[in-house]
Structure 1
C-alpha cells in the first residue's frame, strides 16, 4: 500500500469526523461501529458474476464508523478488505481490494415514512472513496500482476433490523464503481463502457453497536430525542419515554402522588375519594358517607354548620353553640329544654329558658320596676301604697309649713317630715316628688324663687335623714295652685306649703 493511499484514507477519516459534527448541538447523535461479513462479486470484461452467490466466498472484511446527523441522515465511514475471483472466456483474475468510503446514508425511519424506533428500516447509501487493488491473472494468454489505486463511487440499499437501543443488524447490497477499468487486467476500448466497465457488488451482513452520550437535558437517562417529558425534576424515576412513573395509572406521577399505589383523583394528589365528597379517603373521617370538606368528609344533614356526629339535633337546623339544636327565642336554651320558648329578646333566663323573677311576683325582672319586692303586674311589679300611707302623705303635705317670706321649716313641720322619712324607708322602690308653693304676698318672681327654695329645703331635710338624693326631686311653682284663700292669714298659711307624691322609679 503506497503512501499516497494512506494519506487519502486519513483524510477521509478526518473528513468523516468533521462532517458528522455539523449538528452536534441540536440533534440526539449517536456513534455506531459495525463489523460485517462480505460476499463480493465482479462484473466486467471477463465475466458477469453479479448475483451468482456460488462464486462469492464470505469474508469478515468490512468495518464502519457511523454518526447520527438527524432523523433522516447518517454519515458512515467504511473500510473494506475483500477478495474477488473470476474466470471467463478471455481469461481470469484474482484480486485483493482494500477500500475506504465516506458515505451518506438516508434512513426511511425518519418519522416521515416510518417511526424512528421502527424495528425494520430500509435505507439508501451513496458516497465516494478510494480503492487499492492487488490483481493477478491471465487475459488472452498474457499473465499480469499489477496494483491499482483510484477513486471509486459507491451506492447501495439495505435494511436495518433494530434489536434494542444499542444493537442492530444491517443487511446491505452495494456497488463499487471504480474510475479505473483495469482491475481485471484488461480494458477493451471496443466494448460498451457502461456495460463492461469493471465494478464490484458488495453484499454484507453485520452487526452495529451504537454508543456515545445523547443530549439529556433533565438528566433522567432518556435522551431528549425520545423524552416525552423533557423537564422531569432531578432524581425522579421515569419510564422508557422519560416520563415520571405513575404506578397506579391515575395521571398523577408517583413523586407527586400521596397515594402512589391507589388510583385516585388528580385534584386530591392522586388519592381516592370513595364517597365523592372532595375529601381523600385517607383524610376522610366518614369515608363511606358523602360529607363536607370542612368537616373532614363528615355530613351535616340539616346544614347548620354542625356535623351529624356532634349534632344533638341532626334533623333540625340549629346553632353551633348549642350543638346543632334550635333556639327559637334566642335565649341560649334549646327549644327541647326551653319551658318558656317565647321569651323576649335580651331577657336573662335560667337553665329552663325562663326569664328571672327575683321577687316571685309573676313579673320578670326586665319588666319589674321593683324586682326585689313583690308587687302586682298592674303596678309594674311594685307593692301598692296602702291607703293609710296615702293619708299620712296628704296630712304631711298640708301641715309642713314655713315662716312667712322664708324657706325655714317650722319645728312642727320637721316632726311631720320624720314620718315621710319612715314612709320612704318602707317603700324603697318609690321616689318622692316635692312641689313647693307660696301665698300671693309679694312679687310673682320672688314667690317662684321662694317656692323653689322651700322645695329644696324639704329635700335637704330628707336626705340628711338618710334618704338617697336620687330618690327625691324638688321643684317650686310659686303662688300657683292655692289650696285656700289668700284673703285671710289662715288661708295664706295653708298656701305656704309643699306637696308630696310617691312615684315608682
Structure 2
C-alpha cells in the first residue's frame, strides 16, 4: 500500500506540473490558452489470461481528468490522469483483479492547424502520443497460488480522437488510445517469456473540455485584441462591436471628444459644425450660413470696412475709406469762409498707412480695414474659444478651481499682446434651478474670472463682464452632457471703444432681480412703544394733586407727539441706499 501512496504522489506531481504549464506559456497564444477536461473511460484488458479488446460488455469504467495547453496552431501539450481496474477469470483457481493508476504526458497533433482545417472548425481531429507511468496493484490466484503484487511500469501510449467545438469555451471530445506498460504483468501469469507489451489495454474516452483564461483585451473595452480595430481606446469610453469609440454623428470625432455629438462637425472644432466653412464654428458664428471674417464673428464684410454687410448701409465703400458706425464714408467738414491756415502735415506714428487723426491705434500698426489697429490672429481667436473648456468652478459656487489658473494666465498674456483691445467675459449656466439664481451665478462666475486677471495686473477698464444665466444654451438642457456644455464662461476681444462683443452677440445683459429692503424696514414700528412710554415715565414723579394730573399729562404728551413722527419719517429714505 505504501507503493500505491508513492505512485499517487508521483501522479499528483505530474498534474501540478501540467497546471503550471499554462503560466509558462501564457504569452505563446492569442486567447484561451489552457483547458481542463473531465472524462469517463472504458478500459479493455488483453493478456495471457483473457482478452477483452473491443468487448464493451466486459469493459471496466474509470473516471479521469485531462489538462491541455496550447503551444501553437498545430500542437498542444496534453496531460491525462485516470484511476480504474481490470478483472479476469480463467476458472475458479485462476483469476485476478488489478487496480491501476495511470498518468501520461504527451503531445497532441492537431489537424485544425489553419492549413487542413480552421482553428475554430466545428470538428477538430487530432493524434496523441505520449508516455507516463502506470501503477498496478494486483490480487488473485494462478492455479490456486496467490499472485498479489504492487508495482509501477513505464507506459507508452498513442491515441486518436476529435473534439466537437460547442462554443468558444467548451468542447466535447471522443478518443481511443492504446497503452503499453513495459514489462507489466497485470494478470499475474508466471510465464517467463512474456514480451514487454504482452499485457496491455485500450482506453476509450468521452468527456468535456473547458477552456480557461480570457482573451486578451489591452484597452479593457470588452472587445478582444484580435477583433479590436481601435486597441488603444481610453478606459471607460463606450465602444462599438469593433472596439472603436462611438461616433453618433459619424463626423470622425468620437463622442467622448465631440463637443457637439449630435451634429456632424469638424475635428478642428472638436466635432462642432461650421456650415459656411469660414473658420468660425456655428455656435460662435453670428452668420452661420454665410462665410465671413473671424473678427466679425463669422459675418461677411464685402467692402472690408469692418462693418458687417447686414449692418452696412453703404456696402460699396472704397477700400481704406473712413466710415461711420453705419458703414458709410465720413463726410469731410465744410471749408471755412476765411482763408485757411497753412495745412499741418498729418502724422503716422506707427507707419501703417493710416494717419494718426483717423487711426484708432496710432501707436500700433494695423490695416485701414481694422481702423489702423492690429488684427487678432486666427490662432488667438482659437485660444480664446478653447479657453471656455478649461474654466471650472466649485459646485453651485463662483469659486474658481486651481485648474483654471493656467488658462486665465494665458488670456492675461493675450491682453498684453493686444493692448488696444478690451476683453469681454460672458457667464452662462444650464437651466436647472431658479432663473434669478442662475442669472446671478453666471455674473458672479464671470466676475471671479475678471477678479483673478485684475490680480495679475490687468487694468480694470480692459475687462468687461456680462451674465446671461440660462438664456443662451449651446446644447440641449435635457441631458447632463448638454447641461455641462451650457455651463461656461466665454471670452472675446473687441477694439476698445467698440460695442461689447458679448452684448453684440447676445444682446443687453438681463437685469438682476432685486429684493425690496422696505419689507425688512417694517419692523421699525416696534420702536413706537418705547417712545410712548417716555412721557409716562416723566409724568410719574410729578404727581402733586389728582386734579392737575390730566392737564400736566396732556402738556407732557403734546410736546412728545412730534418726536415719534420725526423718528418714523427718517428711516423711510434708507431702503434705496441698501
TM-score by length of 2: 0.44
Larger CA Rg, structure 1 vs 2: 1
Bigger share in helix: 2
TM-score by length of 1: 0.49
